[in-house]
Chains A and B, each alone.
With several copies, the nearest count.
Chain A
Amino acid sequence: MASDDELRIRDRLGKLGNLPLLRGVAVSGELKRLQKQLKRLEQEPAPAGDDIWLSVELARHQERPYTLDYVERLMDDWTELHGDRARADDPAIVAGIGRFHGRTVALIGHQKGRDVAERVHRNFGMAHPEGYRKAMRVMELADRFGFPVITLIDTPGAYPGLAAEQHGQGGMIARCQAQMARLRVPTAACVIGEGGSGGAVAFAIADRVYMQEHAIYSVISPEGCAQILWRDGAEARKAAAAMKPDARHCLELGVIDGIVDEPRGGAQLNWDEAAFSLGETLRRGLADVESLGPEERRAARRAKFRSMGVTA
Protein backbone atom coordinates (compact mmCIF):
# COMPACT_ATOMS: atom_id res chain seq x y z
CA MET A 1 0.00 0.00 0.00
CA ALA A 2 1.12 3.49 -0.73
CA SER A 3 2.19 5.82 2.03
CA ASP A 4 0.65 9.30 2.27
CA ASP A 5 3.88 10.79 1.02
CA GLU A 6 3.86 8.54 -2.00
CA LEU A 7 0.28 9.37 -2.81
CA ARG A 8 0.96 13.08 -2.47
CA ILE A 9 3.91 12.89 -4.83
CA ARG A 10 2.05 10.74 -7.29
CA ASP A 11 -0.71 13.30 -7.19
CA ARG A 12 1.73 16.07 -7.96
CA LEU A 13 3.29 14.00 -10.71
CA GLY A 14 -0.14 13.50 -12.13
CA LYS A 15 -1.01 17.17 -11.91
CA LEU A 16 2.21 18.19 -13.59
CA GLY A 17 1.26 16.12 -16.56
CA ASN A 18 -2.39 17.06 -16.08
CA LEU A 19 -3.29 13.39 -16.18
CA PRO A 20 -5.39 10.92 -14.21
CA LEU A 21 -2.48 8.58 -14.56
CA LEU A 22 -1.88 6.99 -11.21
CA ARG A 23 -5.33 5.98 -10.16
CA GLY A 24 -5.60 2.63 -8.49
CA VAL A 25 -1.94 1.73 -8.61
CA ALA A 26 -0.64 0.00 -5.51
CA VAL A 27 2.88 1.09 -4.74
CA SER A 28 5.48 0.08 -2.26
CA GLY A 29 8.69 1.65 -1.03
CA GLU A 30 9.33 3.79 -4.05
CA LEU A 31 9.21 7.18 -2.41
CA LYS A 32 12.73 8.06 -3.42
CA ARG A 33 12.16 7.11 -7.02
CA LEU A 34 9.04 9.23 -7.18
CA GLN A 35 10.79 12.19 -5.62
CA LYS A 36 13.53 11.93 -8.17
CA GLN A 37 11.09 11.75 -11.05
CA LEU A 38 9.20 14.69 -9.63
CA LYS A 39 12.37 16.71 -9.44
CA ARG A 40 13.13 15.80 -13.01
CA LEU A 41 9.75 16.94 -14.21
CA GLU A 42 9.86 20.14 -12.17
CA GLN A 43 13.40 21.22 -12.87
CA GLU A 44 14.32 20.03 -16.31
CA PRO A 45 12.59 21.76 -19.17
CA ALA A 46 10.57 19.49 -21.43
CA PRO A 47 12.52 18.77 -24.60
CA ALA A 48 11.26 20.34 -27.80
CA GLY A 49 11.96 19.78 -31.52
CA ASP A 50 15.74 19.52 -31.71
CA ASP A 51 16.14 17.72 -28.39
CA ILE A 52 13.53 15.18 -29.36
CA TRP A 53 15.16 14.62 -32.73
CA LEU A 54 18.49 14.09 -31.00
CA SER A 55 16.92 11.28 -29.00
CA VAL A 56 15.49 9.78 -32.20
CA GLU A 57 18.99 9.73 -33.63
CA LEU A 58 20.68 8.46 -30.47
CA ALA A 59 18.02 5.78 -29.98
CA ARG A 60 18.93 4.47 -33.43
CA HIS A 61 22.68 5.09 -33.15
CA GLN A 62 24.54 2.15 -34.59
CA GLU A 63 27.06 2.17 -31.75
CA ARG A 64 24.37 2.06 -29.11
CA PRO A 65 24.56 -0.98 -26.81
CA TYR A 66 22.06 -3.71 -27.63
CA THR A 67 20.38 -6.32 -25.46
CA LEU A 68 23.28 -8.79 -25.47
CA ASP A 69 25.74 -6.02 -24.61
CA TYR A 70 23.76 -5.40 -21.44
CA VAL A 71 23.41 -9.12 -20.76
CA GLU A 72 27.19 -9.44 -20.91
CA ARG A 73 27.60 -6.68 -18.33
CA LEU A 74 24.70 -7.43 -16.01
CA MET A 75 24.20 -11.19 -15.90
CA ASP A 76 26.18 -14.11 -14.50
CA ASP A 77 25.77 -17.68 -15.73
CA TRP A 78 23.78 -16.37 -18.69
CA THR A 79 22.06 -19.21 -20.48
CA GLU A 80 20.32 -18.27 -23.68
CA LEU A 81 17.27 -20.34 -24.50
CA HIS A 82 16.31 -20.92 -28.10
CA GLY A 83 13.29 -21.83 -30.14
CA ASP A 84 9.52 -21.58 -30.01
CA ARG A 85 9.07 -25.40 -29.86
CA ALA A 86 6.98 -25.16 -33.00
CA ARG A 87 8.89 -24.10 -36.06
CA ALA A 88 11.73 -21.64 -35.61
CA ASP A 89 14.23 -19.82 -33.48
CA ASP A 90 13.85 -16.11 -34.19
CA PRO A 91 17.21 -14.34 -33.85
CA ALA A 92 15.49 -10.94 -33.57
CA ILE A 93 14.60 -11.90 -30.02
CA VAL A 94 16.95 -13.06 -27.30
CA ALA A 95 15.61 -14.92 -24.28
CA GLY A 96 17.30 -16.72 -21.46
CA ILE A 97 17.98 -17.07 -17.77
CA GLY A 98 20.90 -15.89 -15.72
CA ARG A 99 21.86 -14.53 -12.34
CA PHE A 100 21.22 -10.85 -11.72
CA HIS A 101 22.37 -9.39 -8.42
CA GLY A 102 22.57 -12.86 -6.92
CA ARG A 103 19.26 -14.30 -8.03
CA THR A 104 18.05 -16.13 -11.09
CA VAL A 105 15.95 -14.04 -13.48
CA ALA A 106 14.69 -14.42 -17.01
CA LEU A 107 15.65 -11.78 -19.53
CA ILE A 108 13.97 -11.22 -22.87
CA GLY A 109 14.83 -8.56 -25.40
CA HIS A 110 14.89 -7.51 -28.99
CA GLN A 111 18.32 -7.88 -30.54
CA LYS A 112 19.65 -5.75 -33.37
CA GLY A 113 22.78 -6.63 -35.29
CA ARG A 114 26.03 -4.74 -35.16
CA ASP A 115 27.45 -5.31 -38.63
CA VAL A 116 25.64 -5.78 -41.91
CA ALA A 117 25.57 -9.57 -41.78
CA GLU A 118 24.33 -9.62 -38.21
CA ARG A 119 21.76 -6.94 -38.94
CA VAL A 120 20.29 -9.10 -41.66
CA HIS A 121 20.49 -12.18 -39.44
CA ARG A 122 18.73 -10.35 -36.61
CA ASN A 123 16.29 -8.82 -39.10
CA PHE A 124 17.04 -5.36 -37.65
CA GLY A 125 15.43 -6.41 -34.39
CA MET A 126 12.06 -6.93 -36.07
CA ALA A 127 10.55 -10.13 -34.71
CA HIS A 128 8.29 -12.68 -36.33
CA PRO A 129 5.43 -14.29 -34.40
CA GLU A 130 7.79 -17.17 -33.67
CA GLY A 131 10.00 -14.77 -31.72
CA TYR A 132 7.13 -13.66 -29.53
CA ARG A 133 6.19 -17.30 -29.03
CA LYS A 134 9.74 -18.04 -27.85
CA ALA A 135 9.47 -15.13 -25.44
CA MET A 136 6.15 -16.42 -24.10
CA ARG A 137 7.64 -19.85 -23.51
CA VAL A 138 10.46 -18.37 -21.44
CA MET A 139 8.03 -16.14 -19.52
CA GLU A 140 5.98 -19.22 -18.68
CA LEU A 141 9.09 -20.99 -17.44
CA ALA A 142 10.11 -17.97 -15.36
CA ASP A 143 6.68 -17.69 -13.79
CA ARG A 144 6.65 -21.37 -12.88
CA PHE A 145 10.02 -21.15 -11.13
CA GLY A 146 9.46 -17.74 -9.58
CA PHE A 147 12.18 -16.04 -11.63
CA PRO A 148 11.56 -12.29 -12.05
CA VAL A 149 11.30 -11.23 -15.69
CA ILE A 150 13.29 -8.39 -17.25
CA THR A 151 12.50 -7.22 -20.77
CA LEU A 152 14.66 -4.94 -22.90
CA ILE A 153 12.85 -3.25 -25.76
CA ASP A 154 14.68 -2.18 -28.90
CA THR A 155 12.83 -2.63 -32.16
CA PRO A 156 11.61 -0.53 -35.07
CA GLY A 157 8.50 -2.70 -34.86
CA ALA A 158 7.29 -6.24 -35.46
CA TYR A 159 8.25 -7.53 -38.91
CA PRO A 160 5.55 -6.81 -41.49
CA GLY A 161 6.29 -9.74 -43.80
CA LEU A 162 3.88 -12.06 -45.55
CA ALA A 163 4.71 -15.14 -43.47
CA ALA A 164 4.62 -13.05 -40.31
CA GLU A 165 1.07 -11.98 -41.11
CA GLN A 166 0.07 -15.47 -42.16
CA HIS A 167 1.38 -16.88 -38.89
CA GLY A 168 -0.63 -14.42 -36.85
CA GLN A 169 1.65 -11.52 -35.94
CA GLY A 170 -1.18 -9.48 -34.44
CA GLY A 171 -2.61 -12.28 -32.36
CA MET A 172 0.80 -13.27 -31.05
CA ILE A 173 1.56 -9.71 -29.92
CA ALA A 174 -1.82 -9.56 -28.22
CA ARG A 175 -1.22 -12.85 -26.43
CA CYS A 176 2.28 -11.79 -25.41
CA GLN A 177 0.80 -8.74 -23.68
CA ALA A 178 -1.86 -10.93 -22.08
CA GLN A 179 0.81 -13.29 -20.79
CA MET A 180 2.79 -10.42 -19.26
CA ALA A 181 -0.42 -9.23 -17.63
CA ARG A 182 -0.83 -12.71 -16.11
CA LEU A 183 2.68 -13.24 -14.71
CA ARG A 184 2.85 -13.66 -10.97
CA VAL A 185 6.54 -12.80 -10.68
CA PRO A 186 8.03 -9.28 -10.45
CA THR A 187 8.65 -7.77 -13.88
CA ALA A 188 10.64 -4.79 -15.11
CA ALA A 189 10.96 -3.47 -18.65
CA CYS A 190 13.19 -0.86 -20.21
CA VAL A 191 13.18 0.69 -23.66
CA ILE A 192 16.87 0.76 -24.51
CA GLY A 193 16.65 2.20 -28.01
CA GLU A 194 13.65 2.20 -30.32
CA GLY A 195 10.34 1.32 -28.73
CA GLY A 196 8.49 0.86 -31.98
CA SER A 197 4.74 0.38 -31.77
CA GLY A 198 3.13 -3.05 -31.28
CA GLY A 199 6.41 -4.92 -31.57
CA ALA A 200 7.66 -2.97 -28.56
CA VAL A 201 4.53 -2.96 -26.44
CA ALA A 202 4.41 -6.76 -26.62
CA PHE A 203 7.19 -6.75 -23.99
CA ALA A 204 6.16 -3.70 -22.01
CA ILE A 205 3.39 -4.88 -19.66
CA ALA A 206 5.64 -4.82 -16.62
CA ASP A 207 5.37 -3.77 -12.99
CA ARG A 208 7.99 -1.14 -13.71
CA VAL A 209 8.56 0.28 -17.18
CA TYR A 210 11.57 2.48 -17.83
CA MET A 211 13.16 4.28 -20.72
CA GLN A 212 16.75 5.22 -21.11
CA GLU A 213 17.25 8.95 -21.34
CA HIS A 214 17.58 8.92 -25.13
CA ALA A 215 15.32 6.02 -25.96
CA ILE A 216 12.11 6.66 -27.88
CA TYR A 217 8.75 4.98 -27.49
CA SER A 218 6.08 5.62 -30.05
CA VAL A 219 3.01 4.39 -31.81
CA ILE A 220 4.53 4.92 -35.22
CA SER A 221 7.94 5.95 -36.49
CA PRO A 222 8.34 9.69 -37.11
CA GLU A 223 8.85 8.87 -40.79
CA GLY A 224 5.65 6.85 -40.94
CA CYS A 225 3.69 9.53 -39.12
CA ALA A 226 5.04 12.22 -41.45
CA GLN A 227 4.15 10.11 -44.46
CA ILE A 228 0.56 9.71 -43.37
CA LEU A 229 -0.23 13.05 -41.74
CA TRP A 230 2.09 15.41 -43.62
CA ARG A 231 2.03 13.22 -46.77
CA ASP A 232 5.80 13.60 -46.81
CA GLY A 233 8.18 11.25 -45.06
CA ALA A 234 10.80 13.99 -44.99
CA GLU A 235 8.78 15.84 -42.38
CA ALA A 236 9.88 13.30 -39.78
CA ARG A 237 11.30 15.98 -37.48
CA LYS A 238 7.97 17.75 -37.35
CA ALA A 239 6.21 14.46 -36.71
CA ALA A 240 8.62 13.60 -33.89
CA ALA A 241 8.12 17.00 -32.31
CA ALA A 242 4.36 16.51 -32.46
CA MET A 243 4.33 12.88 -31.21
CA LYS A 244 6.82 13.48 -28.39
CA PRO A 245 8.29 9.96 -28.27
CA ASP A 246 11.08 10.97 -25.85
CA ALA A 247 11.47 9.62 -22.33
CA ARG A 248 10.69 12.90 -20.58
CA HIS A 249 7.29 13.18 -22.27
CA CYS A 250 6.51 9.49 -21.77
CA LEU A 251 7.17 9.98 -18.06
CA GLU A 252 4.99 13.05 -17.97
CA LEU A 253 2.20 11.17 -19.74
CA GLY A 254 2.34 8.43 -17.10
CA VAL A 255 3.36 5.80 -19.61
CA ILE A 256 6.64 4.93 -17.89
CA ASP A 257 7.72 4.77 -14.28
CA GLY A 258 11.12 6.33 -14.59
CA ILE A 259 14.03 7.39 -16.74
CA VAL A 260 17.42 5.67 -16.74
CA ASP A 261 20.30 8.12 -16.97
CA GLU A 262 22.70 7.65 -19.83
CA PRO A 263 26.35 8.66 -19.97
CA ARG A 264 26.72 12.28 -21.08
CA GLY A 265 26.27 12.35 -24.86
CA GLY A 266 24.47 9.02 -25.02
CA ALA A 267 24.78 5.34 -24.13
CA GLN A 268 26.91 4.67 -27.21
CA LEU A 269 29.82 6.53 -25.63
CA ASN A 270 30.21 4.36 -22.56
CA TRP A 271 28.57 0.96 -22.57
CA ASP A 272 29.78 0.04 -19.09
CA GLU A 273 28.37 3.16 -17.53
CA ALA A 274 25.10 2.75 -19.41
CA ALA A 275 24.87 -0.85 -18.25
CA PHE A 276 25.60 0.03 -14.63
CA SER A 277 22.89 2.65 -14.62
CA LEU A 278 20.39 0.32 -16.30
CA GLY A 279 21.23 -2.50 -13.89
CA GLU A 280 20.73 -0.31 -10.83
CA THR A 281 17.34 0.85 -12.07
CA LEU A 282 16.16 -2.65 -12.92
CA ARG A 283 17.34 -3.95 -9.56
CA ARG A 284 15.49 -1.23 -7.70
CA GLY A 285 12.43 -1.66 -9.88
CA LEU A 286 12.18 -5.36 -9.11
CA ALA A 287 12.84 -4.68 -5.43
CA ASP A 288 10.01 -2.12 -5.39
CA VAL A 289 7.43 -4.79 -6.15
CA GLU A 290 9.12 -7.79 -4.54
CA SER A 291 7.34 -7.39 -1.24
CA LEU A 292 3.87 -7.46 -2.75
CA GLY A 293 2.06 -10.79 -2.96
CA PRO A 294 1.73 -12.25 -6.46
CA GLU A 295 -1.97 -11.40 -6.71
CA GLU A 296 -1.54 -7.88 -5.42
CA ARG A 297 1.40 -7.29 -7.71
CA ARG A 298 -0.50 -8.52 -10.72
CA ALA A 299 -3.55 -6.48 -9.82
CA ALA A 300 -1.39 -3.36 -9.49
CA ARG A 301 0.23 -4.02 -12.84
CA ARG A 302 -3.13 -4.39 -14.52
CA ALA A 303 -4.53 -1.34 -12.80
CA LYS A 304 -1.61 0.73 -14.03
CA PHE A 305 -2.23 -0.12 -17.67
CA ARG A 306 -5.98 0.05 -17.24
CA SER A 307 -5.57 3.67 -16.18
CA MET A 308 -3.50 4.86 -19.12
CA GLY A 309 -4.86 7.44 -21.51
CA VAL A 310 -6.62 10.77 -21.28
CA THR A 311 -10.26 11.34 -22.06
CA ALA A 312 -12.31 14.47 -21.84
Chain B
Amino acid sequence: MAERIDVSIEHRGAPDQPAGKRHPNTCPACGSHYREDELRASAWVCRHCGHHFAMRARDRISWLADPGSFTEAALDVRSADPLNFFDLRAYTDRIAEAEMATGLGDAIVIGSAQVDARACELAVMDFSFIGGSMGSAVGEKFARACDAAAEKGVPLISIPSSGGARMQEGILSLMQMPKTVVAIEELHAAGSALITVITNPTTGGVVASLAMLGDITVAEPGSLMSFAGPRVVSNITKEKLPEDFGRAESNFRLGHLDAVLPRAELRPYLAKVLRLFHGQ
Protein backbone atom coordinates (compact mmCIF):
# COMPACT_ATOMS: atom_id res chain seq x y z
CA MET B 1 0.00 0.00 0.00
CA ALA B 2 1.32 3.41 -0.94
CA GLU B 3 1.95 5.98 1.75
CA ARG B 4 -0.86 8.15 2.85
CA ILE B 5 -1.11 11.86 3.15
CA ASP B 6 -2.63 13.24 6.28
CA VAL B 7 -3.70 16.66 7.33
CA SER B 8 -2.66 16.07 10.89
CA ILE B 9 0.06 17.81 12.77
CA GLU B 10 3.29 17.35 10.97
CA HIS B 11 6.03 18.09 13.41
CA ARG B 12 8.41 17.72 10.52
CA GLY B 13 6.96 20.95 9.22
CA ALA B 14 8.14 22.81 12.28
CA PRO B 15 11.05 25.24 12.10
CA ASP B 16 14.34 23.39 11.90
CA GLN B 17 15.41 21.95 15.20
CA PRO B 18 18.80 20.34 14.64
CA ALA B 19 20.16 17.94 17.21
CA GLY B 20 21.08 19.64 20.43
CA LYS B 21 18.96 22.35 21.94
CA ARG B 22 19.36 25.74 20.39
CA HIS B 23 18.18 28.71 22.35
CA PRO B 24 15.05 30.11 20.70
CA ASN B 25 16.73 33.51 20.43
CA THR B 26 19.68 32.10 18.48
CA CYS B 27 19.38 32.56 14.73
CA PRO B 28 19.21 29.13 13.09
CA ALA B 29 20.61 30.56 9.86
CA CYS B 30 23.72 32.44 11.07
CA GLY B 31 24.03 31.67 14.79
CA SER B 32 23.69 35.24 15.97
CA HIS B 33 22.17 35.47 19.42
CA TYR B 34 19.78 38.15 20.57
CA ARG B 35 18.17 39.33 23.76
CA GLU B 36 14.38 39.29 23.84
CA ASP B 37 14.17 43.09 23.61
CA GLU B 38 16.53 43.12 20.65
CA LEU B 39 14.36 40.66 18.77
CA ARG B 40 11.25 42.63 19.62
CA ALA B 41 12.86 45.82 18.36
CA SER B 42 13.71 44.17 15.04
CA ALA B 43 10.28 42.53 14.67
CA TRP B 44 11.98 39.16 15.21
CA VAL B 45 14.13 39.49 12.11
CA CYS B 46 17.83 38.65 12.42
CA ARG B 47 19.71 41.92 11.95
CA HIS B 48 22.70 40.02 10.70
CA CYS B 49 21.28 37.67 8.03
CA GLY B 50 17.60 38.61 7.67
CA HIS B 51 16.26 35.31 8.99
CA HIS B 52 12.63 35.64 10.05
CA PHE B 53 12.06 34.13 13.50
CA ALA B 54 8.56 32.87 14.24
CA MET B 55 6.36 35.46 15.88
CA ARG B 56 3.95 34.67 18.67
CA ALA B 57 0.35 35.61 17.89
CA ARG B 58 0.11 38.41 20.43
CA ASP B 59 3.49 39.80 19.43
CA ARG B 60 2.37 39.76 15.82
CA ILE B 61 -0.79 41.66 16.66
CA SER B 62 1.01 44.29 18.76
CA TRP B 63 3.44 44.78 15.93
CA LEU B 64 0.80 44.94 13.20
CA ALA B 65 -2.21 46.72 14.68
CA ASP B 66 -2.34 50.43 15.42
CA PRO B 67 -1.44 50.93 19.11
CA GLY B 68 -4.41 50.31 21.35
CA SER B 69 -6.70 49.40 18.47
CA PHE B 70 -6.95 45.65 19.02
CA THR B 71 -9.94 44.19 20.83
CA GLU B 72 -9.73 40.46 21.27
CA ALA B 73 -12.81 38.35 20.66
CA ALA B 74 -13.93 34.84 21.62
CA LEU B 75 -11.44 34.72 24.48
CA ASP B 76 -13.57 32.10 26.20
CA VAL B 77 -13.51 29.52 23.40
CA ARG B 78 -11.52 26.45 24.45
CA SER B 79 -10.84 23.02 23.03
CA ALA B 80 -13.06 20.27 24.39
CA ASP B 81 -12.17 16.59 24.37
CA PRO B 82 -15.10 14.98 22.58
CA LEU B 83 -13.31 11.66 22.02
CA ASN B 84 -11.79 11.37 25.51
CA PHE B 85 -8.60 11.00 23.57
CA PHE B 86 -5.65 9.34 25.23
CA ASP B 87 -2.48 8.28 23.49
CA LEU B 88 0.67 8.22 25.58
CA ARG B 89 -0.96 11.04 27.49
CA ALA B 90 -4.44 12.51 27.83
CA TYR B 91 -5.42 15.21 25.33
CA THR B 92 -6.75 17.29 28.20
CA ASP B 93 -3.28 17.27 29.71
CA ARG B 94 -1.73 18.39 26.46
CA ILE B 95 -4.19 21.28 26.24
CA ALA B 96 -3.64 22.33 29.83
CA GLU B 97 0.09 22.28 29.34
CA ALA B 98 -0.11 24.29 26.12
CA GLU B 99 -2.33 26.84 27.80
CA MET B 100 0.15 27.18 30.64
CA ALA B 101 3.13 27.40 28.34
CA THR B 102 1.66 29.92 25.90
CA GLY B 103 -0.89 31.90 27.85
CA LEU B 104 -3.29 31.29 24.99
CA GLY B 105 -6.71 29.61 24.96
CA ASP B 106 -5.82 27.80 21.74
CA ALA B 107 -3.63 28.16 18.65
CA ILE B 108 -5.37 31.28 17.30
CA VAL B 109 -6.10 34.80 18.45
CA ILE B 110 -8.89 36.77 16.80
CA GLY B 111 -10.32 40.24 17.18
CA SER B 112 -10.89 43.61 15.60
CA ALA B 113 -8.19 46.16 14.98
CA GLN B 114 -7.06 49.04 12.86
CA VAL B 115 -4.03 48.93 10.61
CA ASP B 116 -2.86 52.35 9.48
CA ALA B 117 -6.22 53.72 10.59
CA ARG B 118 -8.26 51.24 8.53
CA ALA B 119 -10.61 48.89 10.36
CA CYS B 120 -10.14 45.16 9.87
CA GLU B 121 -10.52 41.86 11.65
CA LEU B 122 -7.49 39.77 12.53
CA ALA B 123 -7.09 35.99 12.84
CA VAL B 124 -3.53 35.16 13.86
CA MET B 125 -2.35 31.64 14.55
CA ASP B 126 0.35 30.63 17.01
CA PHE B 127 2.56 27.65 16.25
CA SER B 128 3.66 27.31 19.85
CA PHE B 129 0.22 26.03 20.88
CA ILE B 130 0.35 22.29 19.97
CA GLY B 131 2.07 23.01 16.67
CA GLY B 132 -0.60 25.46 15.57
CA SER B 133 -2.87 22.51 14.98
CA MET B 134 -6.50 23.14 14.03
CA GLY B 135 -9.16 21.62 16.25
CA SER B 136 -12.68 22.77 16.96
CA ALA B 137 -11.55 25.84 18.88
CA VAL B 138 -9.30 27.10 16.09
CA GLY B 139 -12.00 26.41 13.49
CA GLU B 140 -14.67 28.10 15.56
CA LYS B 141 -12.58 31.18 16.26
CA PHE B 142 -11.50 31.53 12.64
CA ALA B 143 -15.13 31.22 11.55
CA ARG B 144 -16.16 33.87 14.08
CA ALA B 145 -13.49 36.18 12.69
CA CYS B 146 -15.09 35.70 9.26
CA ASP B 147 -18.53 36.39 10.72
CA ALA B 148 -17.31 39.59 12.34
CA ALA B 149 -15.61 40.84 9.17
CA ALA B 150 -18.72 40.03 7.13
CA GLU B 151 -20.98 41.77 9.59
CA LYS B 152 -18.85 44.90 9.78
CA GLY B 153 -18.05 44.93 6.08
CA VAL B 154 -14.30 45.06 6.67
CA PRO B 155 -11.48 42.85 5.36
CA LEU B 156 -10.17 39.93 7.38
CA ILE B 157 -6.41 39.63 7.67
CA SER B 158 -5.55 36.00 8.32
CA ILE B 159 -2.05 34.97 9.40
CA PRO B 160 -1.85 31.18 9.52
CA SER B 161 0.89 29.08 11.04
CA SER B 162 0.05 25.46 11.48
CA GLY B 163 1.31 21.91 11.40
CA GLY B 164 -2.13 20.68 10.32
CA ALA B 165 -5.17 19.21 11.99
CA ARG B 166 -5.51 18.48 15.74
CA MET B 167 -5.71 14.72 15.43
CA GLN B 168 -6.74 14.27 19.04
CA GLU B 169 -10.14 15.61 18.02
CA GLY B 170 -10.41 12.95 15.33
CA ILE B 171 -12.92 13.51 12.58
CA LEU B 172 -14.08 16.75 14.17
CA SER B 173 -10.67 18.27 13.49
CA LEU B 174 -11.07 17.30 9.82
CA MET B 175 -14.46 19.02 9.81
CA GLN B 176 -12.79 22.31 10.68
CA MET B 177 -11.64 22.42 7.07
CA PRO B 178 -15.15 22.70 5.58
CA LYS B 179 -16.19 24.79 8.57
CA THR B 180 -13.60 27.46 7.81
CA VAL B 181 -14.26 27.15 4.08
CA VAL B 182 -17.99 27.84 4.43
CA ALA B 183 -17.22 30.73 6.77
CA ILE B 184 -14.99 32.21 4.05
CA GLU B 185 -17.77 31.66 1.50
CA GLU B 186 -20.12 33.68 3.69
CA LEU B 187 -17.45 36.34 4.16
CA HIS B 188 -17.16 36.61 0.40
CA ALA B 189 -20.92 36.60 -0.07
CA ALA B 190 -21.02 39.62 2.23
CA GLY B 191 -18.50 41.40 0.00
CA SER B 192 -15.59 41.39 2.44
CA ALA B 193 -12.04 40.49 1.44
CA LEU B 194 -9.76 37.84 2.89
CA ILE B 195 -6.10 38.79 2.95
CA THR B 196 -3.78 35.97 3.94
CA VAL B 197 -0.19 36.18 5.15
CA ILE B 198 1.48 32.78 5.15
CA THR B 199 4.09 32.34 7.87
CA ASN B 200 6.50 29.52 8.60
CA PRO B 201 5.35 26.78 8.72
CA THR B 202 1.86 26.39 7.23
CA THR B 203 1.12 22.78 6.33
CA GLY B 204 -1.58 20.12 6.35
CA GLY B 205 -5.30 20.74 6.62
CA VAL B 206 -4.94 24.48 7.09
CA VAL B 207 -3.34 24.69 3.64
CA ALA B 208 -6.25 22.72 2.18
CA SER B 209 -8.78 25.10 3.66
CA LEU B 210 -8.46 28.55 5.17
CA ALA B 211 -4.88 29.33 4.11
CA MET B 212 -5.38 29.03 0.35
CA LEU B 213 -8.62 30.92 -0.18
CA GLY B 214 -7.35 34.47 0.22
CA ASP B 215 -8.29 37.13 -2.28
CA ILE B 216 -4.70 38.17 -1.87
CA THR B 217 -2.18 35.72 -0.47
CA VAL B 218 1.36 36.69 0.44
CA ALA B 219 4.05 34.95 2.46
CA GLU B 220 7.04 35.81 4.59
CA PRO B 221 10.40 34.84 3.06
CA GLY B 222 11.39 31.22 3.51
CA SER B 223 8.03 30.13 4.91
CA LEU B 224 7.20 26.51 4.31
CA MET B 225 3.76 26.10 2.80
CA SER B 226 2.72 22.66 1.62
CA PHE B 227 -0.15 20.27 2.10
CA ALA B 228 2.08 17.25 2.60
CA GLY B 229 5.29 18.01 4.44
CA PRO B 230 8.67 17.56 2.76
CA ARG B 231 9.46 14.31 4.53
CA VAL B 232 6.21 12.65 3.47
CA VAL B 233 6.77 13.78 -0.10
CA SER B 234 10.37 12.64 -0.23
CA ASN B 235 9.35 9.26 1.16
CA ILE B 236 6.85 8.98 -1.67
CA THR B 237 9.01 10.22 -4.50
CA LYS B 238 12.14 8.43 -3.22
CA GLU B 239 14.04 11.43 -4.51
CA LYS B 240 15.86 14.33 -3.03
CA LEU B 241 13.41 17.21 -3.18
CA PRO B 242 14.38 20.60 -4.59
CA GLU B 243 16.21 22.68 -1.96
CA ASP B 244 13.39 25.17 -1.80
CA PHE B 245 10.54 22.63 -1.80
CA GLY B 246 7.42 24.22 -0.39
CA ARG B 247 9.22 27.44 0.51
CA ALA B 248 7.58 30.78 -0.18
CA GLU B 249 9.99 31.55 -3.01
CA SER B 250 9.13 28.39 -4.93
CA ASN B 251 5.43 28.72 -4.21
CA PHE B 252 5.60 32.21 -5.65
CA ARG B 253 7.33 30.91 -8.78
CA LEU B 254 4.73 28.16 -9.10
CA GLY B 255 1.83 30.59 -9.04
CA HIS B 256 0.47 30.08 -5.53
CA LEU B 257 1.36 33.44 -3.99
CA ASP B 258 0.87 37.07 -4.94
CA ALA B 259 4.08 38.18 -3.27
CA VAL B 260 6.86 37.19 -0.90
CA LEU B 261 7.30 40.07 1.50
CA PRO B 262 10.01 40.62 4.09
CA ARG B 263 8.44 41.46 7.43
CA ALA B 264 9.59 45.06 7.12
CA GLU B 265 7.42 45.54 4.03
CA LEU B 266 4.39 43.71 5.31
CA ARG B 267 2.69 46.46 7.27
CA PRO B 268 2.76 49.07 4.48
CA TYR B 269 1.63 46.41 2.01
CA LEU B 270 -1.35 45.46 4.16
CA ALA B 271 -2.18 49.13 4.72
CA LYS B 272 -2.19 49.66 0.95
CA VAL B 273 -4.39 46.64 0.32
CA LEU B 274 -6.81 47.73 3.04
CA ARG B 275 -7.07 51.12 1.34
CA LEU B 276 -7.92 49.40 -1.96
CA PHE B 277 -10.59 47.15 -0.49
CA HIS B 278 -11.99 49.89 1.70
CA GLY B 279 -12.29 52.30 -1.17
CA GLN B 280 -15.35 50.53 -2.51
A interface vs B, CB < 8 Å? 18-19, 77, 79-89, 97-99, 102-104, 123-124, 126, 130, 134, 141, 144-147, 156-162, 164-171, 173-175, 177-178, 181-182, 196-199, 201-202, 204-205, 217-221, 223-225, 228-231, 238-239, 242-245, 249-250, 253, 255, 301-302, 305-306, 308-312
Contact = CB atoms under 8 A, between A and B. Distances in A.
Given A219-B6, A305-B178, A244 B1 contact: no
Interface in B70-86: 77-80, 82-83, 85-86
A162 B237 contact: yes
A173 B228 contact: no
A158 B207 CA distance: 13
Contacts of A159: 5, 236
Interface residues of B, number: 90
B258 A310 contact: no
Interface in B241-264: 241-242, 245-246, 250, 252-259
A198 to B, nearest CB: 4
A83 B193 contact: no
Given A178-B181, A230-B88, A312-B79, A162 B172 contact: no
Given A89-B255, A224-B6, A181 B174 contact: no
Contacts, number: 306
8 A-B pairs closest in CB distance:
A309-B136, A83-B255, A160-B228, A170-B207, A170-B227, A171-B212, A160-B5, A220-B6
B277 interface: yes
A310 B85 CA distance: 14
Contact of A77 (B77, B178, B252, B276): B276
Interface stretch (B35-43, B45-53, B182-190): B182-190
Interface stretch (B7-15, B16-24, B57-65): B7-15
Interface of B: 1-9, 11, 77-80, 82-83, 85-88, 135-137, 139-140, 143, 165, 167-179, 181-186, 188, 191, 193, 204-205, 207-213, 215-216, 225-228, 232-233, 236-237, 239, 241-242, 245-246, 250, 252-259, 269, 272-273, 275-277, 279-280
A124 B259 CA distance: 23
Nearest to A141: B215
A239 B171 CA distance: 13
A309 B179 contact: yes
A228 B167 contact: yes
Given A174-B212, A253-B82, A156 B4 contact: yes
B277 A104 contact: yes
B175 A309 contact: yes
Interface majority SS (helix, strand, loop, mixed), chain A: mixed
Given A165-B233, A228-B9, A308-B172, A219 B165 contact: yes
Given A104-B276, A104-B279, A311-B78, A196 B4 contact: yes
B143 A168 contact: no
Most chain B CB within 10 A, of A157, A158, A219, A244, is at A219
A174 B182 CA distance: 10
Contact of A178 (B1, B2, B213, B273): B213
Nearest to B84: A242
Nearest to A140: B215
15 contacts: A81-B258, A85-B256, A89-B254, A124-B1, A145-B191, A161-B233, A197-B165, A198-B208, A243-B85, A244-B83, A253-B82, A308-B179, A309-B139, A311-B78, A311-B79
A245 B82 CA distance: 13
Given A170-B211, A220-B167, A310 B2 contact: no
B87 A217 contact: no
B279 A99 contact: yes
A220 B139 contact: no
A243 B242 CA distance: 35
A160 B82 contact: no
Most chain A CB within 10 A, of B178, B252, B275, is at B178
